[in-house]
Chains A and B, each alone.
Chain A
Amino acid sequence: MSATETAGTDLQPIAGIDRLVHEPARLMILTILYVVESADFLYLMRQIGLTRGNLSSHLGKLEAAGYIDVKKEFVDKIPRTLLRLTDNGREAFQAYRQDMIGLLEGLAD
């Protein structure tokens, strides 16, 4: 018998939370990209406080899911990685917000 079955079917919606968005570092990335048009790698790294490798890994996962668009370009011969939330990413973020509000509001103190 699984934990969710033990607790009853009322907890099942928690299992439906988008785990890709739920991870704190990725949630921070999506939150920033949600309020801006686009930002580059350096800006996100500064805002979120992740290491280069860590941020790169999370961005790779979000890109693979189609939540962000990654564009590599050169500005005055300096490489720049520009990141933007896709429509799918925006919908996923909004859905996550609604899910969390709905789930947690129903909990008794």
Chain B
Amino acid sequence: MLEKIDLKQVEHNVLRDFFQDGLTDMLFGACFFFLGLLLPQHGGLVVFPILLLAFSAPLTMGLKKHFTYPRTGYVAFRQGDPGPVPWFVLGSLVLGLVALVAVLITAGVIADPGQWYRWMPILFGIWLAGMFLGLGLQVRLARYYVVAGVALAGGPLATLLPLSGKLSNIGLFFAVLGAVILAWGVFAFVRFLRRYPLPAEGNADVSN
């Protein structure tokens, strides 16, 4: 018997194809990693990873044009219902803010606003965990669930570590999370290149 065709599933498959080359992960991982390295010591230089993040969309498309489309073909997504990701982003952000306020109140930090930065890894951990969980549900790639888990566990861990320096904890959080995403992106990219070699010269798009 034939399986039922679910158009949403077809959409998920198309989205999963978009992320399977690991290029998006490599870019975001590099942004987070350098943000984490630069934040504690060279605060002004964080402008570079932030710029990289801001221009990640055209950069990713440029890399895809060079590496991905000649191997697996070009596909453009429809502009329409963006799916559950924004709800997860919004939900995790609200949850993160609530958690942060709760932690700040119970820890008595509200009384000492100068300590706010100590708890930032928890906020970012919950927020990013929600984002990656949403992405994982959307594209059905297991690596995003793992990254969500690392973000969720890494936030409290980075907060609890007794590090000196105002931004050391949040810097460590971003550096470790960035390294995990970057490494996984490199692995996915190498696997993609091996799995999909370039078609023979002049054979890439012969439709007639």
Contact = CB atoms under 8 A, between A and B. Distances in A.
A75 B73 CA distance: 12
Nearest to B72: A46
A40 B69 contact: yes
A37 B76 CA distance: 5
Interface residues of A, number: 29
A32 B14 contact: yes
Contacts of A34: 7
A59 B207 contact: yes
Contacts of A81: 205, 207
B74 A80 contact: yes
A34 B65 CA distance: 23
A46 B11 CA distance: 16
Nearest to A80: B205
Interface in B157-208: 199, 204-208
Contacts of B79: 37
Interface in A1-60: 31-32, 34-47, 52, 55-56, 59
A28 B73 CA distance: 16
Contact of B206 (A36, A44, A52): A52
A79 interface: yes
Given A35-B11, A41-B205, A78 B74 contact: no
B51 interface: no
B75 A78 contact: no
Contacts of B65: 75-76
Given A32-B14, A42-B69, A75-B65, 17 more contacts: A31-B7, A35-B11, A37-B76, A37-B77, A38-B75, A39-B75, A40-B69, A40-B74, A41-B205, A41-B207, A43-B75, A44-B73, A45-B73, A47-B73, A52-B207, A72-B207, A80-B205
Interface of B: 5, 7, 10-11, 14, 65, 69-70, 72-79, 199, 204-208
14 contacts: A34-B7, A35-B7, A36-B77, A37-B78, A39-B74, A41-B205, A43-B72, A46-B72, A46-B73, A47-B73, A55-B207, A75-B65, A80-B74, A81-B205
